[in-house]
Structure 1
Amino acid sequence: MPLSGRKKTDALASLALQSQLGEEIRFRDRLRRLARENKTAVVSAALILVMALAAVFAPLLTPYGEKDMDLLNRLSPPSAAHLLGTDEGGRDVLARLLYGARISLLVGVVPALLSLLLGALLGVIAGYRGGWADALIMRAADITLAFPSMLLTMVVMYALGGGIGNVFLTLTLVNWANVARVVRAQTLQLKNSEFAESARITGVPSRVIMRRHILPNCLPTLLVLFTLNIPASILTESSLSFLGLGVQPPYASWGLMINTGRQYLFNAPWLCFVPGAAIMLIVLAFNFLGNGLMDVLDPRQQKS
């Protein structure tokens, strides 16, 4: 190779590396800006952290288990012994709320993460490869998005049956399509950029370009999608459990707690109010955090 050609190749490789490093620096700067300017997002993140820690350390925060029954104290109002009262089986509502947070947060995070990984993989393949791969993946996404998400979730859950594993699988299959479409759109823009072109000129394989150059530049958008998909999954799981299609007794789930508590709505309103308030708070917190991340990470929101 002529010297000038070698220098040009080295310069292009350096350009690809500098572009990637520049994106990482801008990503960190935007997160610092979020912490500095958006107090609502910071408070929301703190609330999510507190709820997650409370769920993890539930055995240390309450002497009762989620399944411990005391029929002599059934439907007891909030008291010193039971801060949030007891349910129809004499089980401590605070204990079930904390243990139920484990399931609700797990059902929010795991399907959101799985759908993110699946959607990102298929989206970058569709956008970068094009051709039949793009057509096949996008038609599958179009079919998935053609149905209302809640209706599709209920149909799949009815076919598979209840249980937390089936909830994970169903929510992943329902939510991947949105992620794939967004990542495909970004990949179509990024694959013709200078750093991707320089990587191709230097002989970098396509799979390496997708993994090292395309996907890292999609991370800000993926982070926003992940944060916004979590509350959607929590709400869907709560609805499924309320309908008897999600987590099954005797395990605690916030949606299941509302379902069993609605029979005692007038004489024991705390059975519905407490888990309902928890769902409202965690969903609002994730949405505020996701909106805050979108404000600082979405290039369209940046001032020129």
Structure 2
Amino acid sequence: MIADGSALGAASSTKTRTIETPLRRIVREFSASSLALFGLFVLVLVIMVAIFAPAIAPQNPYDLMQLDIVDGRLPPGSQSMAGMTYWLGTDDQGRDILSGILYGLRISLGVGVASAFVAAVVGASLGLVAAYAGGRAETVIMRVVDLQLSFPAILVALMILAVLGKGVMNVVLALIMVEWATYARTTRSTALVERNKEYIEAAECLVLPRWRILFRHLLPNCLPPLIVISTVQVARAIALEATLSFLGLGVPVTEPSLGLLIANGYQYMLSGKFWISFYPGIALLVTIVAINLVGDQLRDVLNPRGRS
């Protein structure tokens, strides 16, 4: 009798140990990839460096009182007349490249995250409405989405900025106009699968308000693909902002970004002053790759059927 009780207790404890919450499962499966963990580590490091840039940067590269034109285009490892070491060199205005990268990460990450978040809110809302309402509302929304996605993203952003002009907020607005359609299409396709399930029918039988059905019941079940797309869209927004700034239509020169830093040294590449554009380009590449590594692993964890 004692043996049976101990066996039953062991079986129940084993069953208890096998119970795993969804959050723990996501953490465990995400941690299974050393490449994804490395990408997450790099991404967290980049974010922390961007946040604390004013405290750790050797200088404020856009404070005219700290610049000296005599220190322009110094190679990496050079020292200024005041004894300051420029570990990554300086640009044509005497600005420290390392400091410029630290400050530029703040603008690039801020633009990418802000535009992706607002575009996700707008696109997901319209996608939910299209899937749930159907009829004429769905037709109008999806035709606008199709029209938006038929044009290259960079072309749409260039046209918007040609009208609005330079500025961080204008760049964010242009990227929102470019990105929202992707969220709307993804949300609609996911919501159509959930639309006819029992929990939605139960909510309709209870005569709940439509907004509550959409955002309290339907939206949570559409979040996994939206989370994955958001990581990809942040990286895409950072790359688009860098391209726009490189072309001279992005952020103004008083608010540095990685794309603007790359553009500052482009004309000196052939003369051997490669470091002005090279190191900001490496920082941009590392940031985008880290975000993509995290996004790829999140895709595999949240959508196991899509694994290769």
Q: Report if TM-score (shorter chain) is over 0.5.
A: yes
Deviation, 1:47, is 0.7
The answer on 1:160 being equivalent to 2:169 is no
In structure 2, the residue matched to 1:36 is: 31
In structure 1, the residue matched to 2:230 is: 226
Q: 1:267 aligns with which of 249, 269, 272?
A: 272
The answer on 1:65 being equivalent to 2:60 is yes
Deviation, 1:73, is 1.1
In structure 2, the residue matched to 1:128 is: 132
Deviation, 1:92, is 0.8
The answer on 1:286 being equivalent to 2:291 is yes
| Seq. identity, % | 39
Deviation, 1:36, is 2.5
In structure 2, the residue matched to 1:9 is: none
In structure 2, the residue matched to 1:113 is: 117
Q: 1:191 aligns with which of 190, 195, 209?
A: 195
Contact 1:242–1:258, Cα closer than 8 Å, also in 2: yes
| 5+ long unaligned stretches in structure 1 | 1-23
Give every structure 1 segment of 4 or more consecutive aligned residues whose post-TM-superposition deviation is greater than 6 Å: none
Contact 2:142–2:185, Cα closer than 8 Å, also in 1: yes
Report the residue type matching 2:297 in the other structure: G
| Aligned counterparts, 1:10-21, within 5 A | none
**RMSD of aligned alpha carbons:** 1.7
The answer on 1:88 being equivalent to 2:97 is no
- Measured in 2, the distance between the counterparts of 1:42 and 1:111 equals 25
- Measured in 1, the distance between the counterparts of 2:71 and 2:306 equals 55
Secondary structure in 1 matching 2:207: coil
- For these two proteins, the number of residue pairs brought into alignment is 279
Deviations along 1:175-223, one digit per CA (max 9) or x if unpaired, are 1001101100111111111211222222222221111111111111111
Deviations along 1:101-126, one digit per CA (max 9) or x if unpaired, are 00010111110111111000000010
| 5+ long unaligned stretches in structure 2 | 1-19, 80-84
In structure 2, the residue matched to 1:17 is: none
- Measured in 2, the distance between the counterparts of 1:238 and 1:72 equals 28
Deviation, 1:299, is 5.0
Report the residue type matching 1:287 in the other structure: N
Deviation, 1:30, is 4.0
TM-score normalized with structure 2 length: 0.87
Contact 2:89–2:275, Cα closer than 8 Å, also in 1: yes
CA 1:46 to 1:36, structure 2 compared with 1: closer, same or farther past 3 Å? same
Deviation, 1:264, is 1.4
Deviation, 1:284, is 0.7
Contact 2:131–2:188, Cα closer than 8 Å, also in 1: yes
Deviation, 1:302, is 7.0
- Measured in 1, the distance between the counterparts of 2:38 and 2:280 equals 21
- Measured in 2, the distance between the counterparts of 1:101 and 1:121 equals 30
**Higher RCO (CA < 8 A, seq sep 6+):** 1
Contact 1:76–1:86, Cα closer than 8 Å, also in 2: yes
In structure 2, the residue matched to 1:19 is: none
Deviation, 1:252, is 1.4
In structure 2, the residue matched to 1:244 is: 248
Secondary structure in 2 matching 1:259: helix
In structure 2, the residue matched to 1:6 is: none
Secondary structure in 2 matching 1:89: coil
Report the residue type matching 1:160 in the other structure: L
Report the residue type matching 1:276 in the other structure: G
Name whichever of 262-271 and 233-242 sits farther off.
Answer: 262-271
CA 1:299 to 1:93, structure 2 compared with 1: closer, same or farther past 3 Å? same
CA 1:89 to 1:179, structure 2 compared with 1: closer, same or farther past 3 Å? same
| Aligned counterparts, 1:2-13, within 5 A | none
Contact 1:34–1:41, Cα closer than 8 Å, also in 2: no
